[in-house]
Amino acid sequence: MKKKTKNLLFLLAALVVVVGALALTTLLGGDKKEEAPAFVKQSVKLNEIEAENVVSLSFDGPNLSLDIIKEDDVWKRTDDKDFPLNQDYVDSMVKAVAGLTAVKKVTDEPADIAEFGLADPLNRVKITDSTGASFEVLVGERGPQGDGCFIKTADSNTIYLGNMALQTQYQYTETQMIAKLSTPTIEPAQITRILLEKPEGNFELSLEYGNELDSTGYCPWLIRQGFETVLPGNSDAVQAQVDNYATFPLGDALEYDCKDLSKYGLDPEHATKLTLTYYDMVDGDETDEIGNPIKVPEYHTFAINFGALNDTGFYNYVNLDGTSAVYYMKAETVTKMTELTPYDYVSKLPGLVNIQQVDNVTIEYQGKTHVMKLIRTETEKENDKGEKETEEETKYYFDNKEVTKDKFNEVYTPIIGVKSDGLVDPENVKENEEPVIKITYDRSSEGLDRVVSEIYNYNDNFGRISVNGLSYFRINVRDIENLINIFESSFN
């Protein structure tokens, strides 16, 4: 037992000695700083020029050499001051060099600067500020780890590792330096007119509320060009199409001042011209009850020309109407904007008439005549709060005999729901032909004109429908037979 106690005391004493030695070492070496490991990068600032004070930039890059000056806060080429320089690109070029800080110093005494790609540099950039201070840097090859590029100043052979922006910001071609003209961002719901002018003919859609062909109150779009006469448009189809005109994404420029647009298919004889009318809501002169300006529409027109496909077939040449700059635009985008089939935008329900506007309907077929009538009356009643309210009651009649609303609609819904199944060939339309079915909608109580829908034979498979003398559409012969069967079962 005594032996174990002695061993324990010996171990404790040894531990005290070790701890004391460590404490003494700490005290003696407490002010000593650790040296930075050799792999830590030590950045070096190479100039004190501020980007906003730079007034000139010269560079000799892999794809382009330019001398640029700033006049009235606008960057301009010294050799062509009308050239529309991309101001954002020039700003980025300046910021890449002004106040340049190298990632680290590589060597003060290179054996051969050619080893770093600096004997024949990839890029050479010089900036000068408003005080006359200047800085010039040469840009060489990418560093071995791909995290920067080798650089040196014009007045020293010291090699540094610089940011890759010194390479990437100066790789633009001359056409890429052309500033893109501004195009509008349009709210599709605020487009009121679409006009496509093509060599083979024009197509025009026009938004006109309360137009002469809208017998429903739900079809404000008209097709003004594309057929021999004005036709009612299909609002759902038009609304889907206007979504394609929200933006106009121009690609790279080819020329900023093209003298011969025909080589791109952009001359009037070959181009497709799109013109849009749209509006923005802006503050008007009048105010509301709390003094806020009342918004009013402000109308604008935008026109763009679409030319030929380029050699790849993936892009079209385009230019904004009234300018001579030529750009690329993706062919799929151009197709959505321009390849419209007029019939796709025509209302497919040529005989559609809003029942809320109708007083009576006269149906004539096979020597028979039947009249469908609606009689509306208004009565005043009190609601639960004791307030007077006006209620409208409608009664329905077949040949002066009252019928239910459902019975009335069993006839009315099919006669207004006859669908177009294509266009008729005017050469196959017979003159002075008697209609198979004639339907007249009287809307006099609403102060509206009559709508006369006439259905004729056309060929063995189709009939044709004429609405107020407008006869463009064919209908399936089975629809004609179905209507006659409905008349026979409902009126007899």
Q: Per-residue pLDDT averaged across 63-78, rounded?
A: 96
pTM given for the model: 0.75
Give the H or E element holding residue 391: strand 388-398
Q: Per-residue pLDDT averaged across 336-360, rounded?
A: 92
On the question of pLDDT at 184 being above 90, the answer is: yes
On the question of pLDDT at 378 being above 70, the answer is: yes
* Residues in contact with 479: Cβ distance below 8 Å, sequence separation at least 6, in sequence order: 418, 419, 463
Report pLDDT digits (tens) over 319-346: 999 999 999 999 999 999 999 999 999 9
In this predicted structure, what is the pLDDT of residue 41?
A: 56
Tokens for 99? Answer: 């106040």
428 or 456: which leads in pLDDT? 456
In this predicted structure, what is the pLDDT of residue 230?
A: 86
> Looking at this protein, which amino acid is placed at residue 427?
E
How far is CA 402 from its chain centroid? 54
Report pLDDT digits (tens) over 195-228: 999 999 999 999 999 887 777 777 899 999 998 8
Length of the chain counted residue by residue: 492
Question: Domain spans of the chain?
Answer: 44-177, 188-345, 355-491
DSSP characters for 202-235?
A: EEEEEE-TT-TT-SSSS--EEEEESSSS-EEB-H
* Residues in contact with 234: Cβ distance below 8 Å, sequence separation at least 6, in sequence order: 219, 221, 344, 345, 346, 347, 348
Q: How many CB atoms lie within 10 A of CB 191?
A: 22
On the question of pLDDT at 391 being above 90, the answer is: no
On the question of pLDDT at 158 being above 80, the answer is: yes
Burial tier of 35 (Cβ tally within 10 Å: 0-12, 13-18, 19+): exposed
96 or 25: which leads in pLDDT? 96
Q: How confident is the model at residue 253 (pLDDT cuts 50, 70, 90)?
A: very high
Q: How confident is the model at residue 430 (pLDDT cuts 50, 70, 90)?
A: confident
Report pLDDT digits (tens) over 129-138: 999 999 999 9
Q: Which of 87, 160, 166 is nearest to 126 (CA)?
A: 166
